[in-house]
Amino acid sequence: MYREKRRIAFFGGTFDPIHTGHLEMARAAREELGLHRVYFVPASRNPFKEDGPQVSDEDRVEMINLAIAGFPWFGIWEGELDREGPSYTLESIRYIERVYPNSHLFWIIGYDQLDGLSGWYGIEQLIFKIGFILVARPGYRMEWPAIPGLTVYPVRNRLMDISATEIRRRLKAGQPLNGDLPEPVEAYIRKKGLYQ
Ligand code: ATP
């Protein structure tokens, strides 16, 4: 009997904190590509970022859970937090493909990551395991990466000029956030006094 393969996307990031730009990326990817699930994957430490996350893993996870509550097609995969050292997507996918056999696996990235994609650890193996969902980000152009065999799925998303860096800066300076954070996430940050 023919059974449609499940289409599952993973979205890696520092999520320090998760913001409405991230939620819009996941929404656009799910709707445009008919994904069954999108899992947010908090990274333990981004190999391309020198500074680590500003808050604990537990706080980042809690904020993701608050942001995705009520969206049954969104989930969180914490597998990278349990690993020592930097988060490599190839290692995550090797694990994930055993948990989700017979599925189409995707990884979501913003245009800002295209430039560095050819330097990702094991990219030459990764391209045979996953398709990359590309999401537009203000200030970045879609530059087709010169990686033979790479499959990309550009989606049309609402452009949102939001970054976690700017949100952290505004929180520290006591400036308004203009709805860049999901409400429960902002309430959590204020209650716990994070990013001060
Ligand atoms: P930081 O400012 O701390 O670097 P960030 O806002 O870029 O954080 P990440 O957690 O690093 O957020 O997000 C993971 C990935 O999601 C980013 O590398 C980027 O590709 C993408 N992304 C984040 N924000 C946006 C946005 N507003 N529009 C499009 N893509 C985004």
For the chain, domains (ranges, CATH) are 6-161 (3.40.50.620)
Q: Ligand 1, atom 13: nearest CA belongs to which residue?
A: 13
Comparing C-alpha atoms, which of 152, 177, 158, 157 is closest to residue 167? 177
Q: How far apart are CA 187 and CA 17, in angstroms?
A: 12
What's the CA-to-centroid distance between 34 and ligand 1, angstroms?
Answer: 22
What's the CA-to-centroid distance between 191 and ligand 1, angstroms?
Answer: 24
Q: Ligand 1, atom 20: nearest CA belongs to which residue?
A: 110
In the prediction, which pLDDT does 50 show? 66
Q: 50-89 burial by CB neighbour count: b if 16+ within 10 A, else e?
A: eeebbbeeebbbbbbbbbbeeeeebbbbebbbeeeeebbb
> CB under 6 Å to ligand 1: residues?
13-16, 21-22, 25, 109-110, 112-113, 135, 137, 160, 162-165
H or E element: which one contains 190? helix 183-192
In the prediction, which pLDDT does 56 show? 92
Give the global pTM: 0.94
Q: How far apart are CA 136 and CA 110, in angstroms?
A: 6
In the prediction, which pLDDT does 2 show? 57
What's the CA-to-centroid distance between 150 and ligand 1, angstroms?
Answer: 21
**Over the chain (196 residues), what is each successive 10-residue block's mean pLDDT?**
83 97 97 97 74 91 97 96 84 95 96 93 96 95 86 93 96 94 97 96
What's the CA-to-centroid distance between 9 and ligand 1, angstroms?
Answer: 16
In the prediction, which pLDDT does 44 show? 86
In the prediction, which pLDDT does 101 show? 92
